[in-house]
Amino acid sequence: MASVPRVVRRAAPPLLASTKWLAMSCPQARHRGIPTRTGLGIRNFSQSTRHWRSVVPPPVQRGGSKLYATADDAVADIQSGSVVLSAGFGLCGVASTLIAALRRRGPDSLHSLTAVSNNAGAEGRGGLALLTENGQVDRMIMSFLGSNKTLERQYLTGKIAVELCPQGTLAERIRAAGSGIPAFFTPTGGNTLVQQGAIPVRFDADGNVVEYGQPRETRIFGGKPFLLETALHGDVAILRAYKVDKAGNCVFRYTTRSFGPLMAKAARVSIVEAENIVEVGEIDPNEIDLPGIYVDRIVPATESSLVETLKTRAVEDGVGEPKGEAQVRRNRIARRAARELKHGFYVNLGVGIPTLAPSFLPAGHQVWIQSENGILGMGDYPLPDQVDPDIVNAGKETVTLVPGASTFDSSESFSMIRGGHVDVSILGALQVSANGDLANYMIPGKVFKGMGGAMDLVSNPDNTKIVVATEHVAKDGTSKIVQSCSLPLTGARVVSTIITDLVSLAPLERRILLMTLFQCVFEVDRKKGTLTLTEIAPGISVDEVRAKTDATFSVVDNLGVME
């Protein structure tokens, strides 16, 4: 019989996330207990104040009809101060009919809500944005703010609290609540501000931090830090399903199941809006995604499904000739990144430059693209007549599915990711260090969108190769390849390969600029904390690379020449 791995309880390794920013920009951090070593692997922290409310949830009636004539009737007894779990990803699968009904109640009748969702919808268009803009939400628990400028302003001026939680952790906290599991340990967020509880949750009107996140208890398993996360319960869950019978059995389409089944199980009362309501027995038991035991109220969906980011392709689209120098550079990075994708690999490509990589795969070379919102086997953008609002990628863009694809909820998706079942994950970066530290979700004082699924994607670098594909320098000309990250970390010692691209402009006579394009590839030894230049573009010298690189690096003996 194989021996059971022994759990070692001791002090966690020093945090690699920069706390200099925290101490400099947030005076409160100087006296709130930045983590220090203690015994038993548990760190001492000053606890942030949590303003959870206790309300009486709507009643659940067994034996009666679950059907309500309108969404207004179904939400009439939801109380102010309730915790509302709102399903959907972007605008895909959101309960638009129920959200509209909640908004109609107005802030005088319904206010001070805590809303839990992956993100807050699209500003002025739909999702929870309709409630946050209406002043009915006091606190958001989410993974990604996105481009919702109104919510960002509300957050930075103290009108709403925002608890940022990694996407996979958010899904697992909700799943745990529905399963009767009070807490669990996860590798996601180790050695980051999440572990420290140092991400601001609420500001005052002058922009001063008045509340921080909750520091996580940390244990060491197999020599790695794991964070204790608690279950996330709701008073009410609102979700949308494609087909629901009168017993509450639900069928979801494609990526609309991202958070729907999870949230229905975690709330004391769940309300589903159904695009199609059918009689009991009309749904084959094999087709049911969510059993009726988890559904308490059913209303007809009267709002149409929404598309947050419509992306299509023309029939003749292929790699073709790129338009513009920026696209030339992006394609160059993507072409090299494609070499990391071996035949038969399961890969996650994030958003942006990494998504271009499959366009440069050789004929007959198949990879299975995983999207963290619940797709395995993601295809290209659809033709205009193929657009389906229920099939979107992690960037909320419309996409297609390849033959053999599958769709599933977010808990399943992040089990694949954290469990190391994905072979390669390619991400962008704001900074990446010589020892493989990655920062890609926050620039304090400038960019604060949230980490989304990035912390989960880098949580198992021993089994999933982490490749960074990025421009070599930032817009201000500073190097993204640094000796030590100054920005808050997404993950510590996680990156194995760095692929960069750089445009160097040199002035000539008569205001003409000579433009030099070059690429390079670095390999990271995460254990030794060293960086090695392994490939370089033709016509570019190592000295030129050194001049644009903050990090110290060595050069491999047989330096490769990139295509």
- For residue 434, the tally of other CB atoms under 10 A from its CB is 25
DSSP character at residue 69: S
Helices (H) and strands (E) in the chain, counts: 12, 29
How far apart CA 428 and CA 351 sit, in angstroms, is 8
How far apart CA 143 and CA 119 sit, in angstroms, is 6
DSSP character at residue 228: E
298 close to 272: Cβ distance less than 8 angstroms:
yes
- For residue 104, the tally of other CB atoms under 10 A from its CB is 13
HSE of 4 in the Cβ direction (CA atoms, 13 Å)? 2
69 close to 251: Cβ distance less than 8 angstroms:
no
Q: Active site residue: 372, 397, 412, 535, which one?
A: 372
How far apart CA 164 and CA 449 sit, in angstroms, is 9
Residue carrying structure tokens 């954290």: 418
Give the residues across from 394 on adjacent strands.
Answer: none
Give the residues across from 240 on adjacent strands.
Answer: 273
Q: Could you tell me how many residues make up the chain?
A: 563
How far apart CA 331 and CA 338 sit, in angstroms, is 10
How far apart CA 375 and CA 335 sit, in angstroms, is 23
413 close to 261: Cβ distance less than 8 angstroms:
no
16 close to 433: Cβ distance less than 8 angstroms:
no
Active site residue 123: no
How far apart CA 307 and CA 388 sit, in angstroms, is 9
Q: What sign does the CA torsion over 103, 107, 113, 119 have?
A: positive
How far apart CA 459 and CA 109 sit, in angstroms, is 43
DSSP character at residue 510: G
With a CB cutoff of 8 Å and minimum separation 6, the contacts of 511 are none
Element (H, E) at 328: helix 325-338
With a CB cutoff of 8 Å and minimum separation 6, the contacts of 354 are 334, 337, 426, 427, 428, 469
493 close to 461: Cβ distance less than 8 angstroms:
yes
Residues assigned a catalytic role:
372
